[in-house]
Chains A and B, each alone.
Chain A
């Protein structure tokens, strides 16, 4: 009996060790070039006639986004009753990226999924994506020409091919407490110089002009994107097309110095978890730079306590500059032929003008095609939300960072530099020199 229990306990220990050490494989997906042909066959995939189920990894699980997503799916399924779209909701993008990587690694990827440009680069490098040319028969399908120019550019990876289809796109806009602004004798800022003046003027009696989330080493936030916009608006170039960083260039340093000056004048604060929105709602902040798609959340936070003014971002010496936010959709190469055809039909369907109008009016994201703007649903939405016209107009010129996998890391280094300057008093040039070195190393590692 004693020996048996000894053996059992020993086996239990070994089993536990095995359990605890489960895994251990590499997390980089093995390269698999099936379905990753780079040129189109010239023939567009036809909508399948038999029953097909496609899966869609998405994060539209909250607030107005969920009904908007459900409507897209129900409209599509009404038109194609033989196709079922199964949504796989994720709570946030960090979790979604981990999950998509795990699914791809396990050969269990969804048919389609939301992806940032850098994610798409990661999956494409491993041969796990289907190029649009395999679906449409061409790298530039007819629908693409109706999309805003910024959107069109965003569909391609650095190899110049179209790998993504647009989905929840937006740009940053300026939310402001119109009442507090008027009390301080200020008006809607048209330039970043005006903005600095207004920020300093309203920062008194316990009110701080704006509170931003600078982001963190693991990811960018709206504060990081504002920094990038400031640099570009002043004519600076953050990254070359091949991803070469210029984070310590004088124009970029000037953008961070602009933010530091505001912080030193007690007109700018930092925080986490949508701090600008919270401060605005508490009437402790006057401005919040956030995504146009965040309108619903801002409006709820304000709750009618004051007049919420919404406008396009101020401009700089290089004119009106904005950054595209949100994700695209990619198709994973593990999908069957029928699933690819069905998913392609879905992708085209959701970017039709009528569906884009419905989607934009419900979700707050911007329509990717100008044709949606003449739809009655969209016109009614614009009548109630005049900021939409200005936001949409920036989709032609909004920039995106080069779609390399490691750009995500570089944005983390930018965020760290912003934190170091605004929270720890470091000099912008020193902080950005560190970021430049780290980003250059990340690029070299690939």
Chain B
């Protein structure tokens, strides 16, 4: 019996290591390619040990103002998350809790946007941004994404599960709706807000087509407002892809985020768990 239990434990460990390796290997191989000699990236079987050739890193580093792009990405992603949390919370509260004429119709209109592919709207959106003089600014990369239909829907669903008696009780105690939202609503929908924040942050971090279309800044410019993703795209075009250069750029733009997560992973997990605790509570 004990032997079977030990075997099960080992099986779980082996499985965990295998899954871990499967997740880590692509990044490791990217690092190996970035430090490899010319032509090595296409070798089969693949080269698995880096040759510490830093020429790809040097070429990649000088191809764009990476620190500026990195700062831009953090600024854009952070502002978008904050704005999105505010709008998701307010709109989710309005659609989920408040009663006002046209609520259902407005909810449906907002949700219908989920069914519209973004690429269809990009040209009209560009025209609108041009009319509002928002092209080539941080604003155009933040404001339009400051309202997430997914976020509104998710927060609304959380509010819908809340018994109406809680709102009535708060009202009897003299709490205004703003006070109710702040003191009772936010703690209750915190898990939804965490999910929205992660989702929006990742979406903003990986955003490519929108900033490319809406901004024109040259990669040499120290005043560029473009994000990292646009910088990474300069390693590929119609004639081919500079895979080692791209691997180097991906490595040094991803590494800080990974280190940041590794250093703060305990806080992240604790935060997510406490958010989940809010649901049960």
Contact = CB atoms under 8 A, between A and B. Distances in A.
A17 interface: yes
B234 A102 contact: no
A2 B177 contact: yes
Interface string A1-42: 110011011101111110111111101000000000000000
B44 A282 contact: yes
A90 B12 CA distance: 48
Contacts of B147: 15-16, 19-20
Contacts of A305: 39, 43
B276 interface: no
A234 to B, nearest CB: 27
Contacts of B124: 22-25, 27
A95 B110 CA distance: 28
A109 to B, nearest CB: 11
A6 B177 contact: yes
B100 A6 contact: yes
A95 B98 CA distance: 43
A77 to B, nearest CB: 15
B214 to A, nearest CB: 9
B39 A101 contact: no
B38 A303 contact: yes
Contacts of A62: 234-237, 242
Contact residue range for chain B?
35 or more
Contacts of B189: none
B8 interface: no
B40 A303 contact: yes
Interface in B96-155: 98, 100, 106, 109-110, 113, 119, 121-128, 130-131, 135, 143-144, 146-147, 149, 152
Interface string A98-140: 1101110111100000000000000000000000000000000
A178 B271 CA distance: 60
Nearest to A206: B44
B110 to A, nearest CB: 5
Most B CB atoms within 10 A — which of A8, A9, A280, A284?
Answer: A9
Contacts of A253: none
A301 B242 CA distance: 9
B241 to A, nearest CB: 7
Interface stretch (A243-251, A291-299, A346-354, A385-393): A291-299
A1 B42 contact: no
A63 interface: yes
Contact of A283 (B44, B125, B171): B44
A50 interface: no
Interface string A182-215: 0000000000000000000000000000000000
A305 B39 CA distance: 8
B212 A296 contact: no
A218 B122 CA distance: 17
Interface string A294-325: 10111011111100000000000000000000
Given A106-B127, A304-B39, A364 B239 contact: yes
Given A17-B109, A89-B219, A91-B236, A301 B177 contact: no
A87 interface: yes
Interface residues of A, number: 67
A360 to B, nearest CB: 14
A24 B124 CA distance: 6
Nearest to B219: A89
B234 A106 contact: no
B240 interface: yes
Contacts of A274: 240-241
B198 interface: no
B94 A9 contact: yes
A419 B233 CA distance: 27
A103 B240 contact: no
Most A CB atoms within 10 A — which of B38, B106, B144?
Answer: B38
Contacts of B100: 6, 10
B238 interface: yes
A95 B128 contact: no
A154 interface: no
Interface in A61-115: 61-63, 65, 86-93, 95, 98-99, 101-103, 105-108
A101 B123 contact: yes
B129 to A, nearest CB: 8
A278 interface: yes
A12 B42 contact: no
A21 B113 contact: yes
A394 interface: no
A16 B152 contact: yes
B181 interface: yes
A261 B119 CA distance: 39
Contacts of B230: 91
B126 A301 contact: no
B16 to A, nearest CB: 32
B242 A87 contact: no
A61 B123 contact: no
B42 A99 contact: no
A107 B130 contact: yes
A95 B127 contact: no
Contacts of B37: 303
Given A6-B94, A23-B124, 19 more contacts: A2-B176, A8-B90, A10-B98, A23-B125, A25-B123, A27-B123, A59-B238, A62-B236, A63-B237, A87-B218, A102-B122, A102-B123, A103-B126, A106-B131, A107-B130, A278-B42, A293-B239, A302-B39, A303-B39
30 contacts: A1-B177, A2-B171, A6-B100, A6-B177, A9-B93, A12-B91, A12-B94, A13-B94, A13-B106, A13-B110, A14-B106, A15-B147, A16-B147, A19-B144, A20-B110, A22-B124, A23-B127, A25-B124, A89-B218, A95-B209, A98-B119, A105-B123, A105-B126, A105-B127, A108-B130, A274-B240, A280-B42, A282-B42, A291-B239, A298-B240
Interface of A: 1-2, 5-6, 8-10, 12-17, 19-25, 27, 59-63, 65, 86-93, 95, 98-99, 101-103, 105-108, 273-274, 277-278, 280-284, 291, 293-294, 296-298, 300-305, 364
